[in-house]
């Protein structure tokens, strides 16, 4: 059973710079991507660091030998401390998708942004 919580105004969330809010005693990063808003718990499942305070970036696509294709720009966040890469939409760690950052549903009404916790 989730509850809807007001988080912030949509204008507070910039591209490539998540808005960190505190809702229900949880620190949560809200990201703005092409397809809308996404939210992750601001705690890295690796060592508990401030996941959402790391850079929003892309990475290399898995390729065959010695080919470097930079891909997914703006769709990943690297944890602020140890650099693990997480898919902002799914919360999945790229190296091992069974490791997941906790994600929350986001909804928008007018210019108000809500988190479902």
Partner 1 sequence: MFIVDCDCHNYWCSATVLEPYMDGVFKDMFVRGEKTGPRGAFPHGHRPWFHPEGFARHDVNPVEEDDNYTIMKEKHLDKYNIDVAILTGDEPIEASTLANPYYADALCRAYNDYLIDYWLPKDDRFWGSIVVAPQDPQLAAAEIRRAGGHPRVVQVLVSHGAARPYGDPFYHPIYEACAEMGLPFAMHLGGQGGINAAPIGAGPTTFFWETHAILPQTAMTHVASLIAQGVFEKWPALKVVIIECGVAWVPSVLWRLDANYKALRKETPWLKRLPSEYFKSNIRMSTQPLEQPQNIQHLWATLEAMDGENTLMFASDYPHWDYDDVTKLHIPPAWREKVLGLNALDVYSRLPQRVREAAE
Site residues, partner 1 (CB under 8 A): 46, 59-69, 82-85, 93-96
Shortest separation between residue 64's beta carbon and partner 1, angstroms: 6
Shortest separation between residue 51's beta carbon and partner 1, angstroms: 13
CA nearest 88: which of 59, 47, 48? Answer: 59
Shortest separation between residue 61's beta carbon and partner 1, angstroms: 6
* 12/44 Cα distance (integer angstroms): 23
Nearer to partner 1, 35 or 65 (CB): 65
Query: What's the residue count for the chain?
Result: 117
User: Which residues are within 8 A (CB) of 25 and not within 5 positions of it... i.e. 6 or more apart?
Assistant: none
Shortest separation between residue 68's beta carbon and partner 1, angstroms: 6
Nearer to partner 1, 1 or 68 (CB): 68
Tokens for 101, please give them.
Answer: 């950052």
Question: What is the helix (H) or strand (E) element at residue 38, kind and residue range?
Answer: strand 36-41
Nearer to partner 1, 37 or 84 (CB): 84
Tokens for 85, please give them.
Answer: 């890469």
Nearer to partner 1, 3 or 63 (CB): 63
């Amino acid at each position: 059973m989730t509850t809807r919580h007001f988080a912030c105004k949509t204008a507070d969330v910039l591209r490539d710079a998540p808005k960190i809010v505190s809702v229900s005693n949880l620190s949560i990063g809200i990201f703005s991507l092409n397809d809308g808003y996404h939210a992750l718990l601001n705690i890295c499942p690796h060592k508990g660091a401030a996941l959402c305070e790391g850079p929003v970036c892309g990475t290399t696509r898995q390729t065959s030998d010695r080919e470097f294709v930079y891909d997914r720009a703006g769709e990943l966040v690297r944890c602020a401390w140890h650099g693990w890469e997480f898919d902002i939409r799914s919360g999945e760690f790229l190296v091992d998708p069974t490791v997941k950052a906790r994600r929350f549903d986001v909804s928008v009404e007018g210019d108000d942004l809500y988190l479902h916790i």
